[in-house]
Amino acid sequence: MKPPKSNSYPLDPCDPGNLEHFFSQKHQSRYVAKLLGRGGITRRRAEYFVRLWAYLLLKQTQDLAPQTLETLVNLRPTDGLVSCTHREAAELFYGQRERGSDRAAGMMIDQLAALGLLEKRFDGQTLCLGIRPLPELISSERPETPSVLLPDQFNPRTDAIPVANLIRQTYAMAADDSAISLQRIARILRQWSQDYPVGIRVLRRADNLNPVGVAILYPTMSQSEEVFSRPPGKSFFLTSNVAVDPVEMAQVGDKSCLAVYLRAWLIDMNYLKPQHICAFQKDTQNALRRMQADFPNLCDLYSPVIHPLYEELRTLLGFQRTCEEHRPFYWIYLALDRYLDLDIDKALVNLSLSSVSKT
């Protein structure tokens, strides 16, 4: 019989089975509780994310500075990206449970990235993950004063790069990682703003003027309306490597322009609260009313649903799916007059930001 191992025998921090030794269940629960206040975070997602976060920190420390390795009490963002296989993630998430698999772990990683928690890169061979800065989860001596957010016109000189970054993070699940870049998205935004400045609105912080939300209202040429009968992926331009935009913008005064393509409507996860959503929806209504002066026959509003957090919002506003096929992305439609007649405060009074699928 082999003698028992000494308690001083160093455990491997890169073994997912040893996580509790380096980051106790008590401390994991503390972070899980904080995460549950974010939109779209179920308890299961929070638990998996916290375990992955701690594991990436331990693995990075073991690789870069093993002499400083110690048990974790507080978590911090990773310094860049850390390699992590789906097998490692599956062991972290599911342990010895049979229902876990490498594929299920990969899908969970995609969901956490889509929720703005993870940065994910895959070069064809190695998957690398990083923890995005999460100010509300990092210990601070002084509580941060809640930010005042104000709707405003998009400024192509100062807003293009931060808005491009926001779009890239939020729509990561619909993006081609090898093609998407901040500079490409920023160039497109600046061109659209030049062509029709009324169509891009932002929600910005009053203190530092940084944009934390964007709405892109795109007047669509009648010849391009067929795109709304095809899979939404055929219309993606900001987050793809397509050279020519598959949807042409109508020119001011075009009486044949009937449809507005809502190419983006999103708010940074850190500010995704009912009061901010209501304020930005009201601003979107006002922007559409201004667009009616330029396009007098506008009557249709189309949008693709890409991010799971906006499922609840589209339902409360009255948008309907245009196709019942089961697809990860799909078109929704609402008559423009119906949207403009909405009392946003009443329509969204029951908005909870939690009606996403439990995964």
Q: When comparing pLDDT for 309 and 136, which is higher? A: 309
Give the three-class secondary structure for 172: helix
Chain-centroid distance, C-alpha 353: 13
> CA 187 to CA 105: how far, in whole Å?
35
The fourth-level CATH superfamily of domain 149-347 is Gcn5-related N-acetyltransferase (GNAT) (3.40.630.30)
- Do the domains at 16-135 and 149-347 have one common CATH topology? no
Helices (H), 266-335: 274-294, 310-317
pLDDT band at 37 (very low <50, low <70, confident <90, very high): low
Please check whether residue 111 is in contact with residue 59, taking contact to mean a CB–CB distance below 8 angstroms.
Answer: no
pLDDT per residue as tens digits for the range 196-212:
999 999 999 999 999 99
Q: Residue 274: which residues within 8 A CB-CB, separation 6 or more?
A: 348, 351, 353
pLDDT per residue as tens digits for the range 118-173:
888 887 788 999 888 776 666 544 445 567 999 999 999 999 999 998 887 776 55
> CA 132 to CA 114: how far, in whole Å?
12
Checking 208-213 for CB contacts under 8 A at 24+ apart, the result is: 209/158, 210/162, 211/152, 211/154, 211/159, 211/162, 211/163, 211/166, 212/147, 212/149, 212/166, 212/267, 212/268, 212/270, 212/271, 213/149, 213/166, 213/266, 213/267, 213/268, 213/271, 213/276, 213/280
Pairing of strands 330-335, 320-321: antiparallel
Residue ranges covered by each domain of the chain: 16-135, 149-347
> CA 248 to CA 259: how far, in whole Å?
12
Lowest mean pLDDT of 68-82, 227-241, 261-275, name the range.
Answer: 227-241
Structure pTM? 0.67
| Mean pLDDT in residue range 266-276 | 87
**CATH class as words, domain 16-135:** mainly alpha
